[in-house]
Amino acid sequence: MGQALQKVLPAVLLFGLGIHFAFTLAFLTPINPVKVSVLGAVNRYMQPFFYQRWTLFAPDVEAKTRHVFVACRGEDAAGVSREEPWVNVTSPLLDLKQRYRLTPADRLERAQVAGLSQLTASDDEITTRLLEKPEDTDAYRQAVAAAEGQRQQRKQQGRRLLGRVASAACTSLYPQLRTREVRVRMATIKAPAFSQRMNADAPGDTTWMELSWQPMEAVEAR
């Protein structure tokens, strides 16, 4: 039994990797008839945890950093209501990733990145082209309504995922607090001008986005 498993397991792993890379390739390729026909299945597989963009490369380099802050609200052991201040839960993970290239912090940060990507994702190429050419027809209005529904679904999924990230963080940060609600704040720091790249004190433009309070969710560590 053990030898048979050893023979079959590599083939199963290679098959799984092949399927994954096929979905990734379909997700990243420019719009084409084949991609349109399988886009629904591809999006369901890739989002939120495998979502990616080619903004690492020119000409539109995404030169910005995003940090997640969480706030916790609940009661202490004496039953007194408390609201804890904002805590940056991204910086410690980035520090660990810089110190140790192989670290579980990478997987933990992936949950934050996935939630942020869902919450702030741009429309796909099909939706963008659809909105560029408005038509006064029922079919067009139905297509726009469907696109808006997908957009809201992505945002809701992003809020839910970030809420779970915040719930796990509050449980870890304040074990004595009976957390009832959590809140997420996102800081987007745009890199300074290229001419200032060697200046450690050069400020980057920072924008903030806050979500409303969400109910605490029980998140199990696995």
pLDDT in tens, 89-108: 999 998 888 888 788 888 88
Q: How high is the pLDDT of residue 40?
A: 74
Q: How high is the pLDDT of residue 61?
A: 57
Q: How high is the pLDDT of residue 50?
A: 72
Q: How high is the pLDDT of residue 13?
A: 86
Q: How high is the pLDDT of residue 193?
A: 72
Q: How high is the pLDDT of residue 60?
A: 54
Q: How high is the pLDDT of residue 132?
A: 74
List of E strands, 76-139: 81-83, 87-88
Residue type, 185: R
Task: Give 203: exposed, middle or buried? Use CB within 10 Å, 0-12, 13-18, 19+.
Answer: exposed
CA 145 to chain CA centroid, Å, is 24
Question: pLDDT digit string (tens) for 23-39?
Answer: 887 777 766 666 667 77
Reduced to 3 states (helix: H, G, I; strand: E, B; else coil), residue 86 is coil
Q: How high is the pLDDT of residue 55?
A: 54
Residue ranges for the chain with pLDDT beneath 50: none
Orientation angle between helical segments 105-120 and 138-173, nearest 10 degrees: 150
Q: How high is the pLDDT of residue 168?
A: 92
Q: How high is the pLDDT of residue 148?
A: 79
Q: Under a CB-based contact definition with an 8 Å cutoff, are residues 174 and 195 in contact?
A: no
Q: How high is the pLDDT of residue 41?
A: 80
Instruction: Number of helices (H) and strands (E) in the chain: give both, helices first.
Output: 6, 6
Q: Under a CB-based contact definition with an 8 Å cutoff, are residues 119 and 83 in contact?
A: no
